[in-house]
Structure 1
Amino acid sequence: MSEDRVTNEQRRIVVARAKECCEYCRSQVKFATQSFSVEHITPRYKGGKTILENLALSCQGCNNHKHTKTEALDSTTQQIAPLFHPRQQSWQEHFAWNEDYTQIVGLTPTGRATVKELLLNRPGLVNLRRVLFASGEHPPGD
C-alpha cells in the first residue's frame, strides 16, 4: 500500500477527532446524502503528507470546492488569505453562525476567504441547517 493513501486507522482517528462533522462547514455525517472524505489540508502535490496533522474530515461539497487550494481572496481586504487549517486553527476564531444558525460568517481574512472559496453557505446547506435547527439537531456541539 502506498504511504500516500489514508489508512483505515487514520480514517477512524480523523472521523472521531472531527466528531463526525465536516471540519469546514460543520455538516454532520449522520445527515449527509454523500459520504465524507478524509482530505489533505495541504495537498500532496504541494508537499502535504498523509499524516494526522495534515488530514481533515470534509463533506463532499467542501472537498470538491477546496480541491487543491490553500488560499483565496478575502472579499473585505482584497488580499490573498490562507484557507482555514483545521489542525492549526480554531473554527470559533475564524467563523461564527448568523442569528438563525443557517449561515457561517467569516470573522477574519482566513474565515471570509474560506466561506467564499468553499461555498460554506451553499443553498442546500442553508436549507438543511434551517430544518435541523428547528428540530434541535443544529448546530453540532463542539
Structure 2
Amino acid sequence: MGSYIREEVRWFVAARAEGLCEYCLVHEDDTFFGCEVDHIISLKHGGTTEEDNLAYFYVFCNRQKGSDIGSILWQTGEFIRFFNPRVDKWADHFRLEGAIIEPLTGIGEVTARILEFNNGDRI
C-alpha cells in the first residue's frame, strides 16, 4: 500500500484519538495548526498505510519526528525506538507534571527529547 491515506481512514484515526495528539496529548482545539494523520513507522522504514501504523499527531510533534523511528539514549548510547501509541501505554512512559511531560523510561526520554514535548514555545 502506498503513502496515500484514504479520507475514511483519516477520519477513523482522528476519531480513535478523540482529537488528542497520540504523542503529547495536546487537544487539536488547543493548537494553532491542529493535528494530522501520519505513519508511526515511516514507509521508508517498512511501515504500512494501515490503521495500526497510523496515529493522530499534533503538527509540531509530527514535524519533529519526521521519518525517524527512534534515537540514541544519551545516558547509554543505545538506540531506543520512539513511543508507539498502538502498542505502548502513555502512562508507562510519561507523567504529566503541571505543563511538563516527564519521561519515565528510555522510550519516553528519546520521544520527549526529539519531539520537543517541553519546548518553551509549547508549554
Structure 1 length normalisation: TM-score? Answer: 0.81
1:115: Cα distance to partner?
A: 0.5
Query: Can you give the 5+ residue segments of structure 2 that lack an aligned partner in the other structure?
Result: none
1:52: Cα distance to partner?
A: 0.3
Larger radius of gyration: 1
In structure 2, the residue matched to 1:133 is none
In structure 2, the residue matched to 1:62 is 61
In structure 2, the residue matched to 1:38 is 37
In structure 2, the residue matched to 1:12 is 11
Compare the two structures and name the one with the higher strand fraction. 2
The 8 Å contact of residues 71 and 80 in structure 1, kept in 2 or not, is answered as yes
1:60: Cα distance to partner?
A: 1.0
1:76: Cα distance to partner?
A: 3.5
Over the aligned positions, Cα root-mean-square deviation in angstroms equals 1.3
1:111: Cα distance to partner?
A: 0.4
In structure 2, the residue matched to 1:97 is 96
1:17 and 1:92 map into 2 onto residues whose CA distance is 18
Match of 1:108 among 97, 105, 109: 105
The 8 Å contact of residues 76 and 109 in structure 1, kept in 2 or not, is answered as no
- Percent of aligned pairs sharing the same letter: 29
1:4: Cα distance to partner?
A: 2.5
1:27: Cα distance to partner?
A: 1.0
1:31 and 1:46 map into 2 onto residues whose CA distance is 31
In structure 1, the residue matched to 2:119 is 122
Poorly superposed stretches of 4+, deviation over 3 Å: 75-78
Structure 2 length normalisation: TM-score? Answer: 0.93
How many residues in Structure 1 have an aligned counterpart in Structure 2?
123
In structure 2, the residue matched to 1:29 is 28
The 8 Å contact of residues 75 and 112 in structure 1, kept in 2 or not, is answered as no
2:81 and 2:112 map into 1 onto residues whose CA distance is 12
2:44 and 2:77 map into 1 onto residues whose CA distance is 27
1:89: Cα distance to partner?
A: 0.6
Whichever residue aligns with residue 119 of structure 1, its letter is E
